Chain A
Amino acid sequence: MALISSILALRRDARILKLPPYLSALCIIVGVVWLLVLPLNEYSRNTYVSENALLPGQVHTYFTGSEHNIFRAYRHEVAGLVDKPLEEKTQKLGDILQSSGLKVATQKYEYHSSGRTISGQNVYAILQGPRADATEAIVLIGAWTNMDGVVNHSGVALVLTLARYFKRWSLWSKDIIFLIAGDSTAGPQAWVDAYHDSHSPASIEPLSIKSGALQGAIAIDYPAGPWGHRFDKLHIVYDGVNGQLPNLDLFNTAVSIASGQMGISCTLQRMWKHDDSYQERLQTMLRGMISQGLGHASGPHSSFIPYHVDAITLQTVGDGWHDEMSLGRTVESLFRSLNNLLEHLHQSFFFYLLMQANRFVSIGTYLPSAMLIAVNFTITSIALWVQSGRPKQDPTPTSTDKIPSKTDMVAVKQDNMIALIPEASLAVIERSLFLPLAFVSSAHFLGLAPLYIFNNIPEAVLTPAFHTITALTLLLPHLTAYTLSLFHRPSRQETTLIQCLSLLLVGMFLSALATLNFSLSFLVGICAAPLTFVRPIFPPPASGGSAASSTFVAKNRIPLSLAMSALLSVVNPMVIIVGATRYWGADIVDVLVQAAEGWHVWGLWTQVVVWLVWWPAWFAGAVVVAGSVFAVPETETGKAKT
């Protein structure tokens, strides 16, 4: 009790109240520095396969010789189908799979987003494992077109060859599903949704044949044309939708088989050259974080991960001496490893940041960095809460002889020490919470408007809509502040409370988000960090005398507020989105179309975070700052009570 009451007494110490901005800044700095030291050898670890059953690279692979002729034949068959109508293509691919002795089925799908129609057809075949009881299955995916829209000639041909080849083995103890998806994002999504019966039956056909629970999925992206192309490296793509990642064991197995058994070097996050220096590790990690933060589908495997099916895409890159047979043997060995699994992949990490094909940091090491960023908002919020409960202080006298002699002092005695404290610093005034609560909750509801608009308007009007909403976003805080000032609201205390509640919510959302999607939480946290440090500048009370209005801040109230408003405008979500797309050379309409497709097809949540967490927080902060421009001096004083 004594400890609690001394802590309670401490919160009234004026020095404590000065501390939080510095503490918040410290949290942010430590959070960022924390992230920057992760690539060092002392903080990251070498990857290792922790699931014993996988035994990567322990089997001899037999995918050679005459299979090569079959592969070339299939590649020409595939090349002949490129310009054929959808039905004929599906029919032909189904026939090829059927001729290998597999059960074949097809699935039509159709999605609508941004006024476009995404439609196609999936073909898939099931190999019933000779030693399996149809309770578990692994998937081999070859999407007809890859993420860049290029026809995946050799990838599809390799899937067809492997289907024929795998069928002859008697050692499969899991079913194998060969999926030739219509495209790289919507097709696998439609298929995996229908596999788990969570599709919308109106536009997506149900699957006519199914197998057991999916244990893993491997996608092949090898767009070499009918005459082949030798590649240099394997690019392993592992990001799932909403930043979920596959179990690290799957990634490690792929790396260990490709580089250890086949001698193909592996790369990730489009780092074509990687000589394991600090800069390159950091760059890989940051690219991984941005990709995870955006949460978009990065390959045909991405749709599988939300269903707790670990999946990766193997993409061939560069000019080298590895041919399709090495890739085929890699996939064969990978499937033999997955075939060994006794239970779902669970041993290794689900939350990690990779900085090179065999170097990673796990969640325990990196999570504090995002949490520190989130905590900085909470610290300031608590400080503002305490500040809002303090009675308004008299303007600081300029010289000591002006100390009013009649200040009420209270004697506080503790542990034989007596201190005289001005009564005012002990009193807590009543907080009027209604307006702040209503304001903050309506700001968060207001975010629903852009969320709805961007996800539902057609592509043609996206550009004008984006510019209109950007302009509105920049103007709205000033308009709101002006409108509120007409009613002489919000008062000083209400302004503080608006900022307090808004920061409290941001801190809460970001710390919850950090557990789901670390990178998004970190990126939004960094972009929203200035909101912690802006403060409204209140006009001195009308009756306050000349001493108060002669300080620098009071004299330059309006220019300072305008400067803060301008600073906030720069970190506005819309401005940052525009800046980021310019920096990476992307087109804003493409980004918005992708986001809408993500919303309707993949179940992407990134825009919910942007519009319902980040945007309202920025809006509340901007209104608080803009309020100082329009604020009029107050005359009434807060009621003090015990």
Chain B
Amino acid sequence: MSKQFQFKLVLLGESAVGKSSLVLRFVKDQFDDYRESTIGAAFLTQTVTLDDQTTVKFEIWDTAGQERYKSLAPMYYRNAHCAVVVYDITQTASLEKARTWIRELQRQADPSIVIALCGNKADLAARRQVTQEEAKKYAEEEGLMWCETSAKTGEGVVDIFTAIAKKLPLSAPPSSRTGGPRGGPSGSTRQGVDLNRQAASQNDGEACNC
């Protein structure tokens, strides 16, 4: 018997790092070279099916990265189960901004929130300013998931959402969870995970409790 879970996911990160493009690739498998800046936030949903036929539906809040919308972000990350904090591998400053977002999430969001750090624009590796080592080391220190993606080519996009789905507590339907930290053993341990290497190997056994 397959099970369906629903989780709220928020995207954060500096303006123009490709948050909306990541979502567009994930939800519609499309890419626009020129996208207008997001105003406020956009809402979309997409479902991923895991190996054991468990489906996870993401309610995605794609927030605006421009500084002027920063004060609105808590409305979107509050009550979120997971966050994807995006930086642009060709812009060092965008990783700094990502660190700021992560600190804010660690302080203000639900303590059990699953955070993934995502270096986008991997297709522009020739102009890379942020090394994989640097980002990965930071993610490990902070207990975040980490990966690089390219919304343009699609590389890594589905993988990161799938990996998040696997890391979320799938041991009980979200609706039946009451009080306290969220269930699943995977949700409460904050380990650095290198998605590029071992995305498929986690927690497969825990998803099904039928």
Tell me if chain B binds chain A: no
Q: Which residues of B contact A (CB under 8 A)?
A: none
